[in-house]
Each structure stands twice: as structure tokens, then as C-alpha cells.
Structure 1
Amino acid sequence: MSDMQANTALLVMDMQAGIVNRYAQSSDILERTNTAIAAARAASIPVIYVVVGFRPGYPEVSPRNKMFSGRSQASSSTAAFSIELPQAIAPQPMDVVITKRRVSAFSGSDLEMVLRAQNISHLVLCGIATSGVVLSTLREAADKDYQLTVLADCCLDNDEEVHRVLLSKVFPRQAEVIQSEDWVATLAVEK
């Protein structure tokens, strides 16, 4: 394992079944993400899944939170938001699953503690949605001085134009934006 790989983690964000099922092209992203996950594991790079989740009754959700308050009001007071991951990208026992309470992977989670404990300084990001968890996590991680890579074809958004602008104009200011097959090839060369 190279020094670069020793300090790297792959973050698979908000790819839980309830979110993935909202996207018609989700089978393609799951296949590409699974390939990236397998390559990370083969290179001994930690795979960290980040899911959004709440307790029954949504006590973490303020009525002032525009994004999540509608969901909590629409659900029964005893139902919790599902954090189940699709079988195609299911975690293995050595993987870490982080539950967050807001959009950024850092917000309301213990992600930073896990990264610090494993001496991770380089985050490879993928997830749904590009304009949600990927954008919020990238911005916060950049402010925390992480080195960043975004796997462009392992990100998805409902708005294709927003997705394109983020990947081609916004993210490159703070991250390397590459295709997953190029990242996987780099791992094979660095072995």
C-alpha cells in the first residue's frame, strides 16, 4: 500500500435504499460504486458508509429545518427513517457505517472522530445527491483541510444541469474530480 493509500478513505454517502430507489439510473451508479468499493478494499483503503437517519419520532429534526421537517411531519411518530443499504453495495464487517443527522456527512455524526482515529487525510467522495451530501461534505471537508477526490460517475442528482455545473466548475476548485475507472486504475498502479 502506498503512503497515499494509507491515509485515504472512500466515503459512500446517502446511498441507502430509500434514496437510491428514487433514481431511474441507480443500477448504473450502484455497479460503478461497487467496483470502486471492491478496489478500495483490495488496496486496504477503508470504506466508510454515511447514511442519514433519525430516531423514531424524529426528535433531531427542528420544524425550522426546511429539508427534513416535511419528512418528519409526514411520517408516523414511531417510524424511523430507513438506513438500509442496497445489497449491491452492502457493507462488509470491516467497513464503518456512520449515521448523520443533516446533509453534510460531518453534521451530527462521529465521522471526524473515525477519520482522526485512522489518520485519514484524503477523502474520496461519492453519493446521492451531488447537490446535497456530496456538495455539503466536500465544502466542510475542504474547510477542515482534507485532500479531496470526487468520483464523478459515482454521484447522482435529480437536476442534471446542477450536477454538471458542480462537477465541472465548482468541485474542481477544492477537489480532484475523476471517473471511478480512473481512480481504480490508479489504485492498481500504486500497489
Structure 2
Amino acid sequence: MQNQTGKTALLILDIQNGIVSQFNNTTTILSKISNLINAARQNHIFVIFVRVGFDKGYPEINPQNKFFSAIPALDRMTILDKETQIHESISPKANEPIITKYRFSAFSGSNLELILRSQQINTLILSGISTSGVVLSTVREAADKDFILKVISDACFDRDPEVHRILTEKIFPNQAEVLTSNDWIQSLNSTNDYKIEK
């Protein structure tokens, strides 16, 4: 991986086959995410892909976990399954990490924080599925870890539009700047704050 001296990373959260397929507006989702990735790459911003997946036998899943304990019986979501792979329309480049997590937060059981600290990144741009799952959990934990946060409201998606609205309008602004993808992309054209020196 090339040496990254910048301060910002774009996190692509849970845009994997098995999760994207649960939404009807797949084309819209992937288009929004793709636009963010292209803008980040053009401006030398570190792109990190995060997915949820488990080892064969599900040793990471505690039977007491109300949400994840049902997964082993379904025999799904191992790290080798197609549904845990990043959607092919936004394939990561060779120097863009794919982080595997084991709970909702992107930090849970993963090496994300190690990579961020090693690359001297202190600002995170968040996008992904779902707003009430990985985005909410990652915002909370990243804020507690003192990262500067920006949530791209129209590049986060949830099956409940009202929950999405409440989170982006009332909850996230307490810990993050919330803006649209167009606003963020336009800001890249007017400032060098995000750029990584090569």
C-alpha cells in the first residue's frame, strides 16, 4: 500500500451483495456510492470498504446476541460466501482495504482503527447500509474515539425512511456534520483540506 499522509478516509459500509440485494432501489444506491468513490479517488482520499462476515463455524457469534445468533442456523454470511463480498460494481482497488467486522460497528472486532491510526487519518466520511445499523453504530464509536465525522445523508440507506430521517436530521448532527453527496463532492473542488499528498 502506498504511503498515505492525508487526514481523511471515505468509509463504504456494508455495500455487499447480501445486503444491497435487500433493497429495491439498488441502482440508486450503487450510483450514489460509486459517485462518492470516484470523487474520493480523484482527490486522493483513502477509500476503505467494510463488510460483515464470519468464519466457517461462526466462532465469532455468541448465542446470546439477539440479532446475530440466528445466522448460524441459516448457514450464511461466511467470509467466503458471495453475499459477504463487496458488490462488483464498486470493486475495491488493490491499495484499498476490505475490513471484515463481526457486529454492527465498523470497529467491532476489526483492524479498522489500527489502519486509521497508522495512516494518520482523523476524519471519516461515512456512507452505506443501513443508517440505523452500521452507520449509527460507527458514528457513535468513532465519535467516542475522537474522529472528525461527516455523514453523507443521501448515500446512507435504511429500510425505514422515517428512522433514516430522524437519525440524519436529529441524532447524527450531535456528533457529525451531515451533508449531501453533492455538497461533499463540491467541497472537494474548493478546498485542499481532504487531499492526500503522494
TM-score normalised by the chain length of structure 2 = 0.90
**Alpha-carbon distance change, 57 to 51 in structure 1, aligned in 2, over 3 angstroms:** same
State the partner residue of 1:62. 62
Label 1:137 to 1:79 Cα distance change in 2 as closer, same or farther (>3 A). closer
Give the corresponding residue for 1:119. 120
The match for 1:188 is 189
Aligned to 2:86: 85
2: CA distance between counterparts of 1:148 and 1:94?
23
* Pairwise CA distance, 1:79: 8.6
The aligned residue for residue 29 of structure 1 is: 29
Could you tell me which residue of structure 2 aligns to residue 176 of structure 1?
Answer: 177
Q: Secondary structure at the match of 2:98?
A: strand
Partner of residue 7, structure 2: 7
8 Å contact 2:124–2:149 — kept in the other structure?
Answer: yes
What do the CA deviations read for 1:101-152 (whole angstroms, capped 9, x no partner)?
1110000000000000000000000010000000000000000000000011
How many residues are treated as equivalent by the alignment? 186
Question: Residue 67 of structure 2 aligns to which amino acid in structure 1?
Answer: M
Contact 1:150 1:176 (C-alpha < 8 Å) held by counterparts: yes
Q: Quick one: percent identity of the two aligned structures?
A: 49
Task: Note if contact 2:54-2:79 (Cα within 8 Å) is conserved in structure 1.
Answer: no
**1:24 positional shift:** 0.5
TM norm structure 1: 0.93
Letter of the aligned partner of 1:15 in structure 2? I
How many Å separate the matches in 1 of 2:26 and 2:170?
24
Alpha-carbon spacing, 1:99–1:79, altered in 2? closer, same or farther (3 Å): closer
Describe how 1:103-142 pairs up with structure 2 within 5 A: 103-142=104-143
> Which residue of the partner structure matches residue 44 of structure 1?
44
SS of 1:63's equivalent in the other structure is coil
Give yes or no for contact 1:20–1:26 (8 Å, CA) kept in 2: yes
CA contact (8 A) 1:151 1:178 kept: yes
Question: RMSD of the alignment, in Å?
Answer: 1.6
How far does residue 47 in structure 1 lie from its aligned partner after superposition? 0.2
- CA change 1:80–1:71 in 2 (3 A) is farther
The residue aligned with 1:100 is 101
